[in-house]
Amino acid sequence: MANPASVYCNERGGRLEQRGEAQAALLYCHLPDGSVIEEWKLYRDSEPL
């Protein structure tokens, strides 16, 4: 099963970058407008409460 936050980034035209080491690593989404945001924050912010 694919990571929904990674899929959401890719669907927005973004590319993922891993920052950090091993288990402390986070993935960041580089969006076409030049913004960079942690992938799960991007995904959570897109979901209505």
Q: Which helix (H) or strand (E) holds 7?
A: helix 4-11
Distance CA 20, CA 23 (A): 8
> What is the per-residue DSSP string for 12-42?
TT-EEEEESSGGG-EEEEE-TTS-EEEHHHH
The structure tokens listed for 27 are: 């993935």
Amino acid 40 reads: W
Whole-number mean pLDDT of the chain? 93
Please give the model's pTM, rounded to 2 decimal places: 0.84
Q: Kindly list the domain boundaries of the chain, sorted by start residue.
A: 4-46
Work out the pLDDT band at 49, boundaries 50, 70, 90: low
Q: Is the pLDDT of residue 48 over 90?
A: no
pLDDT at 12 over 80: yes
**DSSP secondary structure code for residue 46 in this structure:** H
